[in-house]
Structure 1
């Protein structure tokens, strides 16, 4: 028999059941089933996945800390591989999988003892066994109680828990900076009383005062004020509750900074202060893992004239900083010239969203044109986000690029966006985003856009197709779709140059990538001057087409950037080689199975894509039909790609999809014919009427073809 190292109770081992979660264990076993669910263990970060973090427990067992178990976003973690973390084992499955939970205690001293979990039986950690002192090492219950008492922080000196900003976890402040005294008044407010300055009380329970006469410091001056006590004023743009402090992100006319306020571990400080509150904060400027942060000593909500003064100062500065310079087109393009005002307005919207700490979400078609257009906006916006926010993970919070299938923003996509948006607003107090749609356009997008409008979300559209939606903040589309055949990328690149002129040189080669053929000379010359000749541009186009096909719902941010901006010629050549090899093989098979039909003197080629293509491999059906038509159109001006319940229409003449769809519906009234025009001309129908739809389409095309 032994005694519990915490309370002294007689136990068979070193810890009683009621205190097992008060100690941290070092695991020396070799199998998952030797772990004890409910215990806290020391681990090491092994790797990251979209769904969580893998953590090594000991030398032979790895568990999963699922993202749902974290108190912050997975992207916010700045852990390195091998970094020590503390987790709780919640379950060990029969197959050896280990489920982990997050611990707000992230250092050994936050636990009341340390033990070794050995398959032969628990034992004291060597340091404790050797010293015999401290809460865990004492051998007499009275000694342990005294040691525990001595280890507790003094009343009024709150511990500060570790968070993603690097605050030391549950430590007792000893430097005298921003500590609360026995009455709950901060050190800085004590200084204010002694110096005779007036002070404004903060919210109840804040533990500090803000000196009204302390000189205000602009946020962009904080870099030179590390270690100083300062006063900042601005608007709260987000509130994050961590396992330790509450973190208020504050924006003034010059930038943003995180302000960590502590009540007690995991408890919301200043519970009445929400997003958009205008406040004054006083505290010490500190640096945590390369990020600036203010350790908040006091916070006061401003109202009346003080609030109006701050709001006016912020609005004047915001309007001035958000306004882009006059738009100078990247190349000679009459369509871009005609859209100059709209491009200028959209560039200003994006700049203002960044300065207001609103996320920018770019939704783009999952095609070459869509990916490159979205990447252009991304290239221009990310540096602004990094400059505006002190947090090194800000670009993952304030910018997102999400492809949409077939260039249609349907209710499925909109529902996912609204769910994420509301969750971020509820859990992280994040503002609603500015949505920018690149190359997304069709009547089928109306419902999705309407769902966003219900929440008052700002929406902007750019591309070669007009999008029929109400109350768009910006609508940058040519009046004539065929005017110069300007792509979404050409428009987006010019918008991006307005958003951030410093990346203008990076954008010159992008428009040419988006043209599969007949590249306007102005854009071909622009790419050549930027160092991308026709072969290089062709390789990049093929590489983007290939990677766009796989996991089309992912942005593939780094991979796309490598291909477009970082000069990875070998990568582009290798991927382009795969693209051509796969495409040529698919074309060869498709050509052998083309069915030639005649209608009113028009030759129509029909490819049964359901039977003669690998539908779930590269190339996708739409890209295959595009290339197949380019190679066969001299003999067959119309190509129909007939799928299970959809039909792709490719043609060289003047065919209007809606008119063709109406003619098909007249001939096949039971087929439920629907036109879906976005990236391509697509008609959907009921599977049971497939043969009737094909016959009706051939006849309708023959009548309508000019």
Structure 2
């Protein structure tokens, strides 16, 4: 009701979320002139409510968008509002907010058609050609809220990524997707924001905790890695629940692909279960192969470029980057340093020999060497166990991937046999070898593309087993034909040497004695040559070096080398060599400047000759 004392007059400012139920007869409201008719002027009290001031109740002449004070004379049964203009020089203003019940996002499916209030963090702001889409995260889930001012115009520009807000709006279905139509958005003050943030963090921490499930196989190394694998899974689950984009980088071979695809299946399925958009799995998750077994400058440059553009164009958070089958060595450090400028968080799931300088850049690091294991526990084995912790529901789709990874990476660890036994009713060892070869062959032609759907068919994840078998058979035939052609060209040019430690060394110049720019590439060519030489020299120590103008690829059986350490020593011992590289202890690669090739190779051979022989 209107007060009698002038300096005590109360004027109400109606919030954007208010509707007719919030209007009270006799109260005075701030309004804005919307337009005129012969019988009076229309006044908007907020974006949803307007009334009529009859010309007999107008105090002075106005133009459109003028601010006025109006008293509600009557609210008619049909919803029409009769107003009269009032004038006060001194008055107090009181905000009126919609009397909406604050609900959790998980409760929204049962609130369709009702106006509700939601409190949460802005996880994404996406400007479309129509409304502005805010992705809101609370302690129970995430939800899109659409706010419209004008087509393509940013609504609520004061609300930024990471703000804690209260949104009031109607819950609706749009294109079979739940959505809040925003009537009002308020950035919460410090005290309220801290309370809401604390509630969200506490609930998310509990929600992100992985289930306590057993491992697929009995393994002391994997059991010892369980705490770190749970940590990795929790970080990934929390990223999903907070709509943080995820980039998954992996080495472009069968082991790296198996590890990454296992995690991909878990992440994508959990994004769907968490109520993301129909295309959320594409703009919140990206899998990308890396040609080298480490995170190259080229990789971080690509990832950073896409991430910063998405941050600016689509209001996305800075991503969580997962590296699998790479990320553990000092070769990764230059990329980590670049990423640290932008505070990009990293997780590593790898089985390369780790360097101590790396962990300071990482949120978590699963590596068998940390618990007394070695590279025989492959990235595919590790990634599959992590994937099961992220979302146990994907296990039936991925439980064969560790067996494929084990044979593809030539693991000699006892876990290889255990994972093969786990799936022998569906996949023989030869089946797994064929799948691994098909992955290597297809990825060579895919180059930097992930081939998401093709790879799913090769791994029999798509569900079409007949198509899987046909595709693998064709790819294996194609790969074997090209391998045999390469071996026919290369094997006659292998140069043998016997070293002082009685190791049998074999050298092959793959630059001049192998086909270029085709399958198999130099690394795999060297591996195929090595396998043949091992069969020809059964029971003897064998080292194979396939080299080109500025690189060498090493494979060893029965010689106890440490390739990463050898690379570091050579770099210090040969000034001007431009030496870099690494890998596993007995499988790896080294780069150098072309003019120093002969010097570097001879120094490398000397170190191999000093290595112990496995008796």
- What corresponds to 1:447 in structure 2? 334
Match of 1:591 among 491, 502, 507: 491
- What corresponds to 2:44 in structure 1? 183
Residues 644 and 687, structure 1, Cα contact 8 Å, conserved in 2: yes
Residues 324 and 349, structure 2, Cα contact 8 Å, conserved in 1: yes
**Deviation at 1:327?**
4.2
Match of 1:254 among 130, 140, 160: 140
Residues 433 and 457, structure 1, Cα contact 8 Å, conserved in 2: yes
- What corresponds to 1:456 in structure 2? 343
User: Partners in 1 of 2:592 and 2:340 — Cα distance?
Assistant: 30
- What corresponds to 2:181 in structure 1? 295
User: Partners in 2 of 1:346 and 1:662 — Cα distance?
Assistant: 30
- What corresponds to 1:692 in structure 2? 599
Give the direction of change, closer, same or farther, for the CA distance of 1:642–1:528 in structure 2 (3 Å limit): same
Tell whether 2:383 aligns with 1:492: yes
User: Partners in 1 of 2:518 and 2:606 — Cα distance?
Assistant: 32
Give the direction of change, closer, same or farther, for the CA distance of 1:450–1:665 in structure 2 (3 Å limit): closer
1:385 alignment partner, SS class: helix
| TM-score between the two structures when normalised by the length of structure 1 | 0.68
Residues 165 and 186, structure 2, Cα contact 8 Å, conserved in 1: yes
User: Partners in 1 of 2:204 and 2:118 — Cα distance?
Assistant: 17
Give the direction of change, closer, same or farther, for the CA distance of 1:659–1:460 in structure 2 (3 Å limit): closer
Give the direction of change, closer, same or farther, for the CA distance of 1:215–1:660 in structure 2 (3 Å limit): closer
User: Partners in 2 of 1:429 and 1:182 — Cα distance?
Assistant: 36
Tell whether 2:202 aligns with 1:341: no
- What corresponds to 1:559 in structure 2? 454
CA distances 1:115-142 after superposition (whole Å, capped 9, x unpaired): xxxxxxxxxxxxxxxxxxxxxxxxxxxx
Match of 2:473 among 573, 579, 597: 573
Give the direction of change, closer, same or farther, for the CA distance of 1:699–1:499 in structure 2 (3 Å limit): same
Tell whether 2:150 aligns with 1:264: yes
- What corresponds to 1:527 in structure 2? 423
Tell whether 2:371 aligns with 1:501: no
Tell whether 2:432 aligns with 1:541: no
Larger Rg: 2
Give the direction of change, closer, same or farther, for the CA distance of 1:240–1:156 in structure 2 (3 Å limit): farther
Residues 582 and 590, structure 2, Cα contact 8 Å, conserved in 1: yes
Match of 1:277 among 163, 169, 173: 163
User: Partners in 1 of 2:237 and 2:385 — Cα distance?
Assistant: 14
**Deviation at 1:578?**
1.6
Residues 464 and 481, structure 1, Cα contact 8 Å, conserved in 2: no
Residues 327 and 340, structure 1, Cα contact 8 Å, conserved in 2: no
- What corresponds to 1:368 in structure 2? 254
- What corresponds to 2:563 in structure 1? 657
- What corresponds to 1:683 in structure 2? 590
Give the direction of change, closer, same or farther, for the CA distance of 1:215–1:346 in structure 2 (3 Å limit): same
User: Partners in 1 of 2:579 and 2:329 — Cα distance?
Assistant: 16
**Deviation at 1:430?**
0.9
- What corresponds to 1:512 in structure 2? 403
User: Partners in 2 of 1:585 and 1:361 — Cα distance?
Assistant: 37
**Deviation at 1:394?**
0.3
CA distances 1:248-287 after superposition (whole Å, capped 9, x unpaired): 1112222222211111122111110111222222222232
Q: Which has the higher contact order (CA 8 A, sep 6+)?
A: 2
CA distances 1:639-684 after superposition (whole Å, capped 9, x unpaired): 1111120011111111122454467568865433333336941111
User: Partners in 2 of 1:396 and 1:356 — Cα distance?
Assistant: 16
**Deviation at 1:156?**
6.8
Tell whether 2:366 aligns with 1:476: yes
User: Partners in 2 of 1:662 and 1:365 — Cα distance?
Assistant: 22
Tell whether 2:237 aligns with 1:237: no
Residues 216 and 385, structure 2, Cα contact 8 Å, conserved in 1: yes
Residues 122 and 162, structure 2, Cα contact 8 Å, conserved in 1: yes
- Number of aligned pairs? 513
**Deviation at 1:471?**
4.1
Q: Which runs of no fewer than 5 residues in structure 1 stay unpaired?
A: 1-154, 158-180, 196-208
Match of 1:350 among 223, 232, 236: 236
